[in-house]
Structure 1
Amino acid sequence: MHAYAVLSNTAHAITDIELPTNEPTGTEVRLRVVRSGICHTDTHLREGYYDLGSRGRLNLVDRGMTYPMVMGHEVVGVVEAVGPDALGVQIGQTRLVFPWIGCGSCDACRAGHENLCPAPQNLGVARHGGYAEHISVPHPRYLLDIDGLDESWAATLACSGLTAYSAARKALPDTPTVPVVVIGAGGVGLTAIATLAALGHRAICAVDLQERNLDLARELGASTVIRADQDNLAAAITGALGGPVAAVIDFVNTGKTASVAFDILQKGGRMVQVGLFGGELIVPTALLTLKIITIQGSFVGSLGELGELVTLAKTGALPHIPIIEGTLSASEVDAALDRLANGGVPGRIVLGAAASMS
């Protein structure tokens, strides 16, 4: 099969390669990829590291990354072949793939939180993903029925949507009129704004550098929008909202934005850090105690949460974020990752197999 891969930690260009088309065994399922979303996480995977601020870099080869690496973890496919023990799935069905797969035996996996597994087998990271003609999934339980949903938008639910949903649920105050600040109104941030609105929250403040992203944020449910390019952003946010806030979801998560998040929280506030742009946060430890602040990281979400999100999407309560479509190929994956790395993509890029786009 054709696959579009990073060849090594020093050769970052996406290259068209040939890989064997696996025949499923046991509970495995092979799908023909029809949609594959482009995620900002893949820009870091392509570069081969995460920025840890003064601690240097987290090099992915040191974490067991192997090459060639076929990325792509926002995948919708058509079931093409099934192993003899793959029950409850039929050839020809269109399914959304849950990619955040764990070892299956640790405490986190047994509790249904495979995204917390210390030895993850994530599709598009540890195992070949959806930038390819086919994708292999180890068990039918990772396949979700998206009947009635737009396939391109549904693909984004596996990461962008799930990440936003899980973070929104962590940050959601009990009172719908208590302000929640969303820093970063790109594809994932916009999804979080739409999710908060769909969950009934009415006081959502979007913070971004791009005016067009702020316009989209208003359309999706933001009640207040603030430009991020201000000398004293924390004062601008608390001034616009009438004081400190209950929760912040930071989809940028640099040292600068994390500091702003900490500074604008009220007593008992919660900051949910999602972005992977890198840096570090230095906070006064006394204020951490005196203000009883919770700092929580949030990375994707569980299979159960994705099921909840798909159900919510099927009700029609979740507004669609803008989708930029293209054809799945090595050059288009490379170009899309470049666009994301340079910032300013209004929504989400989703590439489709040539036959499915005609």
Structure 2
Amino acid sequence: MRVFAVQPDDTAIHDLEVPTPSPEGRQVLLKVVRAGVCHTDTHLRAGGYDLGSRGMMSMKARGIEYPMVLGHEVVGVVEKVGDSVESVRVGDVRLIYPWIGCGECRQCREGHDNRCAAGKNLGVARHGGYAEYILVPDEKYLVDIDGLDPSWAATLACSGLTAYSAVDKVLPLEPDEPVVVFGAGGLGLTAIAILRSRGHRNICAVDVAERNLALAQDMGASSTVLSGPGSGADDIRRAAGGPASAVIDFVNNGITATAAFEVLAKAGIMVQVGLFGGEVTLPTALLALRMIRIEGSFVGTPAQMQELVRLAQRGELPHIPLVERPLSAAAVSQALDDLTAGGVAGRIVLTA
């Protein structure tokens, strides 16, 4: 089968032929029809994550096998099934939950695959969706998306799920308590839409691009702040109508994390989601005196993805803007370049 992959210490996307896997047991082989493009893929192509003064977290040093086939927002058509599969059959269209755990630890047994310390995520430790076919290790990771646009459905596996899980960490609040969302790309727009769908009214979007802020208003943001030189925490508090009860930071670099801390109300919560990297220095006494809670959030659970898909199927989740492009090595490379440059409004989905 054809895959579009990266090699170690090489940011080029290579068009390669590799053996097509044959499913066994509860495994399922799907033909890829949609593959969303995520900012996480840009970091993986670069080789890792910026840890500030701690240097770089290298994927190569962590034992990731190459060639690495990226792509974790995947919708596919069932091509073959293992001999123990019961819930799907050839021809079924399914969304894939990609955050695969070991299946044995306490977190996995409790349904929190995304918390597994030995995770084997699709598109990272296992071949992902920038390929002709994708092998899913268990049928339980497949979700029926009947009635949904497959391109939009693909984004629910990461941007949708990540936003849904982050919103879960800040709600319930009173509908008019300020919630600030840093970053109005695909993730931030989805979070704003989910906040609105769950009845929240005071949502302040912060971004460096006016185009993204206009989209944020379309999704339901009640106020916006254009970030950059000359703007700061005072502008955000003013736009939101006061200190924020919660901040969801989909950028999460040194600048946004510092601003998030500054805009929080007493007993506020910072939910840090983005992987743009860097570090932040916070006054420890104020953490205690202001009772600030800081929580990292990485994607979500299989149950949360099921809930999110049902929400979408009921028509309670507004669509985010999508840009469709053909699935090819050149298109993968261009999409990652565009995301790195910040030139994408909404989400790119590659179509096979």
- Give the match for residue 84 of structure 1: 83
| Secondary structure of the corresponding residue to residue 307 of structure 1 | helix
Contact (CA 8 Å) 1:186, 1:344: kept in 2 or not?
A: no
Deviation at 1:109, TM superposition (A): 0.3
- Give the match for residue 252 of structure 1: 251
| Secondary structure of the corresponding residue to residue 100 of structure 2 | coil
| Secondary structure of the corresponding residue to residue 79 of structure 2 | strand
| AA in 2 matched with 1:153 | W
Deviation at 1:232, TM superposition (A): 4.1
Q: Which is worse superposed, 166-175 or 104-113?
A: 166-175
Q: C-alpha offsets along residues 193-251 of structure 1, whole Å, 9 cap, x if unaligned?
A: 01111111111110011111111101111001111114241010112223211000001
Contact (CA 8 Å) 2:254, 2:280: kept in 1 or not?
A: yes
- Give the match for residue 48 of structure 2: 49
- Give the match for residue 98 of structure 1: 97
Deviation at 1:172, TM superposition (A): 2.0
- Give the match for residue 67 of structure 1: 66
**Which TM-score applies when normalising by structure 2?**
0.99
**Which TM-score applies when normalising by structure 1?**
0.97
| AA in 1 matched with 2:6 | V
Contact (CA 8 Å) 2:204, 2:239: kept in 1 or not?
A: no
| AA in 2 matched with 1:136 | L
| Secondary structure of the corresponding residue to residue 257 of structure 1 | helix
Contact (CA 8 Å) 1:173, 1:247: kept in 2 or not?
A: no
Distance in 2 (alpha carbons) for counterparts of 1:30 and 1:223: 44
- Identity across the alignment (%): 61
Q: C-alpha offsets along residues 28-84 of structure 1, whole Å, 9 cap, x if unaligned?
A: 100000000000000000010110111111111121211000010000000010000
Distance in 2 (alpha carbons) for counterparts of 1:7 and 1:126: 13
Q: How many residues align?
A: 352
Distance in 2 (alpha carbons) for counterparts of 1:338 and 1:288: 38
- Give the match for residue 317 of structure 1: 316
Distance in 2 (alpha carbons) for counterparts of 1:107 and 1:115: 12
Distance in 2 (alpha carbons) for counterparts of 1:69 and 1:275: 22
Contact (CA 8 Å) 1:210, 1:344: kept in 2 or not?
A: no
Q: C-alpha offsets along residues 106-137 of structure 1, whole Å, 9 cap, x if unaligned?
A: 01000100000000010000000100000000
Deviation at 1:306, TM superposition (A): 0.3
Matched, 1:221 2:220: yes
| AA in 1 matched with 2:76 | G
| AA in 2 matched with 1:6 | V
Report matched runs for 1:191-340 at 5 Å.
Answer: 191-340=190-339
Matched, 1:5 2:5: yes
Q: C-alpha offsets along residues 131-153 of structure 1, whole Å, 9 cap, x if unaligned?
A: 00000001111000000000000
| AA in 2 matched with 1:38 | V
| Secondary structure of the corresponding residue to residue 54 of structure 1 | helix
| AA in 2 matched with 1:120 | G
Matched, 1:58 2:50: no
Deviation at 1:177, TM superposition (A): 1.2
| Secondary structure of the corresponding residue to residue 201 of structure 2 | coil
Q: Which is worse superposed, 226-235 or 271-280?
A: 226-235
Deviation at 1:176, TM superposition (A): 1.2
| Secondary structure of the corresponding residue to residue 60 of structure 2 | helix
Contact (CA 8 Å) 2:100, 2:122: kept in 1 or not?
A: yes
Distance in 2 (alpha carbons) for counterparts of 1:139 and 1:42: 23
- Give the match for residue 141 of structure 1: 140
Distance in 1 (alpha carbons) for counterparts of 2:2 and 2:102: 27
Distance in 1 (alpha carbons) for counterparts of 2:98 and 2:180: 28
RMSD over aligned Cα atoms? 0.8
Matched, 1:165 2:149: no
| AA in 1 matched with 2:196 | A
| AA in 2 matched with 1:124 | G
Deviation at 1:173, TM superposition (A): 3.7
Deviation at 1:318, TM superposition (A): 0.6
- Give the match for residue 356 of structure 1: none
Deviation at 1:290, TM superposition (A): 0.3
| AA in 2 matched with 1:60 | M
Q: What stretches of structure 1 of length at least 5 have no aligned partner?
A: 354-358
Distance in 2 (alpha carbons) for counterparts of 1:174 and 1:284: 26
Contact (CA 8 Å) 2:39, 2:340: kept in 1 or not?
A: yes
